[in-house]
Amino acid sequence: MDFALASPTQTQTAAAPPGHPDPWAPPSLRLVCLDIDDTLVDFSASGRRALSVLLGRSDLWSLWETITDRYVAKVVAGELDYGSMHRLRSECFLAELGIDADAADFERRRLEILHSSWRLFDDVVACLEWLRAAGLYVAAVTNASGRHQRAKLATLGLAPFFDHVAIAGELGVAKPDPEMFHSVCLALGCDPAEAVHVGDKLDTDAVGAVRAGLAGVWLNRPGGETDVPTGVHVIQDLAALPELLVCEFARVGVPIPR
């Protein structure tokens, strides 16, 4: 039996059967989800500054984050509201340091300093403008307080860029739980396979997204060598995100109905 030989330099294509997707077609992207703190907003710098101003120490941020994670989990579980969490977190933090001070007053002063020092990373606005121009849905996905996060987005002029904002405490579930990511996809009518999530925490954001069926992108702003699980993409700034999306999702840029 004789076989016809195809040219080794000619691209070979075959039409997909009617009603069946082309297995060689690039994946379609419709939704980009973004974490807020330390992804869009330099939150850690503001938080460190607030603690330093109030307590005269620059080594307390790690303790603050540990206590915050503990109390946010109670909010997500429905055991606390955000207002109570803020006060109780400050009480716990001050007690750990052996400081006898009014927790409510400490929290009020901390928030005043924090709100006055919010700053966007320099690459944020250009990236969001590109995502909107590409016709993509854009969602903010955060484990932090809804009231504070919405105020932050509005104050910094970011609110108009987002089609949806997902707040862990309002949903009763938090990243990296797949349900958190799936709720966003459901709200915007997208399949998880048509979505990407970008965030600064490797496990909470990128790995959590991959396990939920989305593409996961770890925004590793500090850089450095770290073992990254298979399937997770890594960028060091948001300026690199458009190129990554175009390379991985060649259908980016095709307008979609809104």
82 and 136 share one domain: no
* pLDDT (0 to 100) of residue 169: 81
Task: With respect to residue 146, please indicate whether it lies within any of the assigned structural domains.
Answer: yes
141 and 217 share one domain: yes
- Nearest in space to 242 (alpha carbons), one of 168, 134, 164: 134
Task: With respect to residue 9, please indicate whether it lies within any of the assigned structural domains.
Answer: no
157 and 225 share one domain: yes
Measured CA to CA, the distance from residue 152 to residue 142 in angstroms comes to 12
CATH of the domain at 143: 3.40.50.1000
* pLDDT (0 to 100) of residue 22: 58
Could you give the number of structural domains in the chain? 2
133 and 234 share one domain: yes
Identify the residue whose tokens are 């082309």. Answer: 22
Task: With respect to residue 12, please indicate whether it lies within any of the assigned structural domains.
Answer: no
Q: Give CA torsion, residues 96, 99, 104, 110, to 10 deg.
A: -80
Measured CA to CA, the distance from residue 139 to residue 177 in angstroms comes to 17
* pLDDT (0 to 100) of residue 23: 56
Task: With respect to residue 73, please indicate whether it lies within any of the assigned structural domains.
Answer: yes
Model pTM score: 0.83
59 and 180 share one domain: no
143 and 35 share one domain: yes
CB 197 within 8 A of CB 181: yes
Question: Which of 59, 85, 116 marks a domain boundary?
Answer: 116
98 and 88 share one domain: yes
Cis peptide preceding 176, ω within 30 of 0: yes
Task: With respect to residue 157, please indicate whether it lies within any of the assigned structural domains.
Answer: yes
Question: Which of 70, 94, 116 marks a domain boundary?
Answer: 116
CA atoms within 13 A on the CB side of 31: 28
Task: With respect to residue 86, please indicate whether it lies within any of the assigned structural domains.
Answer: yes
97 and 60 share one domain: yes
Task: With respect to residue 203, please indicate whether it lies within any of the assigned structural domains.
Answer: yes
109 and 131 share one domain: no
Q: Give CA torsion, residues 146, 43, 153, 104, to 10 deg.
A: 50
- pLDDT tens by residue, the chain, 258 residues: 332 323 333 333 444 455 555 555 556 899 999 999 999 999 999 999 999 999 999 999 999 999 999 998 888 888 988 889 999 999 999 999 999 999 999 999 999 999 899 999 999 999 999 999 999 999 999 998 778 899 999 999 999 999 999 998 888 899 999 999 999 999 999 999 999 999 999 999 999 999 999 999 999 999 987 889 999 999 999 999 999 999 887 555 544 444
Task: With respect to residue 138, please indicate whether it lies within any of the assigned structural domains.
Answer: yes
Question: Which of 116, 133, 148 marks a domain boundary?
Answer: 116
150 and 207 share one domain: yes
Strand partners, 165: 140
Measured CA to CA, the distance from residue 216 to residue 45 in angstroms comes to 25
Boundaries of domain holding 65? 43-116
203 and 241 share one domain: yes
68 and 90 share one domain: yes
